[in-house]
Structure formats: C-alpha cells, structure tokens
C-alpha cells in the first residue's frame, strides 16, 4: 500500500516494530481448504501446548526485556544477531515499543512452529488496547537467530458487518510452490452468489491488508458478505514467500506477474470452481497498486465480469513515488538536507527507470530491470479503455498516495466509455476511512483505528448487484 523503503516493491518495512530477521523465516505453510472458521473476534490465546526448550528460552528472554535486563537478554543472541542488534539498540527498541503500545502486563500465549530447520516461537504479550507479538527464531544451538515484533489488535467488526449472515472458509489460492492461504467469506444460503476477488496494494500484504489496527480488506469482505456477496481474499506472495521473492529480485527475474497478477487469476479460477458461487458474476476489486494492475488482470481473463478500482494510480509508479517523497518532506513545512538528498536519489532512480537505463543486477526503487521492463509498456487507463467489462472507480479526495491527479487522469482517459461509474469521497484517506482534520491525510492517519466507511461498502455492493 505504501512505498516507504528501498524495497518499494517487496515492501520489507523496517518500522518501529520490525527489528531484525537474520534467518529468513518469513513464510508459513498453507491452510487446508474447506475448513470453516469462526467469524467472531478472537483474542490471540490458544489452548495449552507442549512447551519446548526454545519456548522456555523465549519466555525468559521476553521477561528479561520487560524487566530491563538487556545485557542478560542480549546473551541469548547468536553471533550474527548480537552484532546486528547491540545492547543499547535492543534497549531502545524495547522501550520504543513500550512507548508506542504501552507496558507489557504479562505473557498471554506462547506457541511455536518449525520451518526450514529452525524453530520459530511466538510470544504474545498483553499491552494497552492490543497485544504485542515477539517472533523469535532459534538455531540448532538454541540461540536466537532472528527477532521481530508486531502489534496484534483484536478485530472489532464494523457495525455494518453481521457475522450471523455469512461464514468464512479457509482455502488455498494457487497450486505448486506458490500456494497461498486465503479466506472465502460467503453468505449463508444456497446461492449462487455474485463474488468479488480482492487484490491488495504494494508491499507484502496479508489477506486483510493489515496496517496497524486497521484491516480494510476484512472490513470489505465482511461488509459485502452481509449484503449477500461472496468475497475471496488471500495473502500476497511477497508476504508469504518473502525469501523466495527476494531471491527472484536479486536474480532479476521478478515481474508483476509474479508479485500480483498470476495469483489474482488463480483466485478467480478458484471461485469459478467453488459451489454456491455464480461463475459468470465474478468481479475483481483492486486497491492502490492492486487497482493499478486490475485492468491488466482483466485483460488476461476475459471472463472476469467487472472491475472495482479503489484508489488506483493512473500515473507510473516512479512518478507516484516521487510525489509521495516530496509530500513526506513537506509535512513539517521544511525540507532538511537528509530529505533533499533522498528526493534527489529517488528522482535520479526514477529517471533511470523511465529510460530503462538499468545495469545488470541493479535495484532501482526497490525492483530489478525485469520488473521495470515488464511495466514499461503498460498504461492502466489505456488498458481499461480497451476492456468491454463494466468498471467502478472510487477515489478518496484526502488520499496523499493516489491523488486527484490520478483520478482526473482516469476520468479524462475513459471519457465516452460505456459501463463506467466514478465516485469521489471528500472526507476519506487512502484506506477509505474517515480521519480527523482537513486537506491531505498523513501517514500517521493510517494507524488511527477505524473501518472502511459504510457508504463505500454500500456503493460497491449496489454496483455489484446491479451488474447483469
């Protein structure tokens, strides 16, 4: 959804909660398909499990952090992590987490899994208004080989979602080495139901498009299911297979087909084969980067019945990145030397991308030559104009990422096209949530707890129901 670091495409976000991952243990196994799961909010507490030695060490480690015994805690690291995260930085990291999320009042859950020869232990702490999960990777010597933290916010459904009207079924999108865990939210009843596939924005998005306390894709799925529309969402490949995607980027054989498009097509195919789904009424809803690529997805599959574009960029990705960098630098009313240098570097990289002046093995704006070459001839507006399917385009006026410039380009480029609907919302941010203030929203606004606005759910539901 946002391009914040050098890994703009893969979106490995090194923010306050992400410390260091040295073991590359970021992917996890796919879920079995066809399993119904509860749709009520869940606290991250699981039944009692067998405690392994690594789990005991992980518990001790977190307790030492909470007791400010950073020297002792640092002693559990292996050599690589100890060098990457010195004692003072471990101290600053933990206290930064406490400042942001509140004091840890106790451990509420410990669980573990084994992946690629490593044991990965999850320690969940209770903090103010949320939970804080430590992900701790152990090597064969029972030393910590990787460490990261993330907040877990218990999901509170929006008022427009009625869990009594639908069920949520775990499923698997795709086959072979890229199988992805997904969730089909389907209304109760015989059907057949119209359906929507959700395609997430940039970065390693989970199936809910989680950002801080917000889960816009779960809001959309539950809201539309309440209105009688089935919704399929799934983890992005870059979220589930980060290590493998990084290798493809480094080897210069990574494109948007690998990142997004192939999996979106697989999700549509899965819905067509699913009972109680109307195979002739499956639309694709793309948000942000997913919206930018949605016309290309539809061009690959002529049986997709319609497109819904939420905050879809019309400009090239380099142009959007430069505009966003300029906006970030302007937020405090001045541009310091660090910001000026960053902007100059981004501008130079953007120029090279547009000219395809990319050296072998060079990574520009987070992606290799293969990625940029694949996108060089793609124009989402022109591609959409050549489609015969109906299109709904939604834009939030306060969005600083995909702005009114993009929206006006869509309007101008699609003027005269049939089966087209535009809706502009004056008060919402990039997540289509209402936030305080006026003018363009800020990055901090993305972390204010909220839900996708009811009118957005209503507009999308009405549009889907009215398609022939």
DSSP E strand boundaries for 230-381: 230-234, 277-287, 306-310
Pairing of strands 118-127, 130-138: antiparallel
Q: Give catalytic residue positions.
A: 288, 399, 430
How far, in Å, are 296, 318, 356 from residue 375 at the CA level? Answer: 11, 11, 10
C-alpha 425/C-alpha 124 separation (Å) is 38
* CA–CA separation, 222 and 208 (whole Å): 11
**Cα–Cα distance for residue pair 298/359, rounded to 1 Å:** 32
Which residues, 6 or more positions from 19, have their beta carbon under 8 angstroms from its beta carbon?
85, 93, 147, 148, 149
**Which residue is listed with tokens 């539901």?**
461
Q: Where are the beta strands (DSSP E) in 288-368?
A: 306-310
Q: Are 261 and 269 in contact (CB under 8 A)?
A: no
Three-state SS for 240? helix
φ and ψ at residue 124, rounded to 5 degrees: -105, 125
Distance CA 380, CA 395 (A): 16
Q: Which of 398, 221, 217, 384 is nearest to 293 (CA)?
A: 384
CA 297 to each of CA 171, 284, 302, 303: distance values in angstroms, whole numbers, following the listed order:
21, 8, 9, 11
Structure token digits, residue 226: 């309440």
Among the listed residues 269, 285, 289, the one whose alpha carbon sits nearest the alpha carbon of residue 371: 289
CA angle 220, 224, 225 (to 5 degrees): 115
Whether residue 15 contacts residue 148, with contact meaning beta carbons closer than 8 Å, is answered with no
Say how many C-beta atoms besides its own lie within 10 A of residue 409's C-beta: 15
Residue 3: half-sphere exposure toward Cβ, Cα within 13 Å: 24
Count CB neighbours of 379 within 10 A.
Answer: 15
d(CA 114, CA 437): 46
ω into 192 cis (within 30 of 0): yes
Question: Which pair of structure tokens corresponds to residue 195?
Answer: 């359906």
Pairing of strands 230-234, 118-127: unpaired
């Amino acid at each position: 959804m946002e391009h914040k670091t050098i890994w703009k495409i893969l979106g490995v976000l090194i923010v306050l909660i992400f410390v260091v991952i040295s073991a590359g243990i970021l992917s996890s196994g796919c879920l079995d398909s066809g399993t119904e799961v509860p749709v009520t909010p869940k606290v991250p507490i699981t039944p009692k499990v067998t405690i392994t030695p690594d789990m005991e060490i992980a518990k001790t480690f977190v307790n030492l952090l909470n007791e400010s015994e950073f020297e002792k805690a640092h002693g559990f690291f292996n050599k690589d992590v100890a060098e990457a995260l010195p004692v003072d930085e471990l101290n600053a990291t933990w206290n930064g987490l406490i400042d942001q999320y509140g004091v840890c009042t106790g451990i509420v859950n410990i669980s573990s899994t084994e992946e690629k020869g490593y044991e990965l232990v999850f320690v969940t702490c209770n903090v103010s208004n949320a939970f804080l999960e430590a992900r701790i990777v152990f090597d064969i010597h029972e030393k910590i080989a990787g460490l990261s933290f993330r907040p877990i916010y218990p999901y509170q459904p929006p008022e427009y979602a009625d869990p009594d009207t639908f069920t949520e079924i775990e499923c698997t999108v795709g086959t072979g080495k890229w199988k992805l865990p997904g969730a089909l939210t389907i209304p109760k009843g015989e059907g057949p139901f119209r359906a929507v596939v959700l395609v997430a924005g940039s970065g390693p998005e989970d199936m809910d498009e989680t950002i801080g306390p917000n889960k816009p894709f779960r809001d959309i799925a539950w809201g539309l299911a309440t209105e009688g529309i089935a919704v399929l969402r799934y983890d992005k490949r870059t979220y589930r297979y980060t290590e493998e995607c990084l290798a493809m980027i480094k080897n210069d054989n990574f494109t948007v087909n690998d990142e997004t498009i192939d999996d979106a097509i697989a999700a549509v195919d899965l819905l067509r084969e699913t009972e109680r789904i109307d195979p002739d009424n499956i639309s694709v809803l793309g948000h942000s980067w997913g919206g930018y690529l949605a016309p290309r997805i539809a061009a690959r599959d002529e049986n997709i019945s319609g497109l819904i574009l939420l905050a879809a960029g019309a400009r090239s990705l380099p142009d959007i990145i430069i505009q966003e960098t300029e906006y970030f630098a302007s937020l405090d009313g001045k541009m310091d030397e660090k910001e000026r240098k960053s902007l100059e570097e981004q501008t130079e990289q953007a120029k090279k991308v547009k000219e395809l002046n990319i050296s072998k093995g060079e990574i520009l704006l987070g992606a290799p030559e293969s990625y940029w070459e694949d996108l060089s001839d793609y124009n989402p507006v022109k591609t959409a104009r050549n489609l015969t399917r109906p299109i709904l385009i939604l834009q939030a006026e306060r969005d600083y990422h995909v702005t009114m410039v993009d929206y006006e380009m869509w309007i101008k480029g699609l003027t005269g096209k049939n089966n087209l609907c535009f809706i502009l919302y004056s008060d919402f941010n990039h997540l289509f949530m209402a936030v305080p203030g006026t003018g363009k929203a800020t990055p901090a606004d993305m972390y204010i707890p909220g839900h996708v606005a009811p009118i957005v759910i209503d507009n999308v539901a009405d549009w889907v129901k009215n398609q022939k």
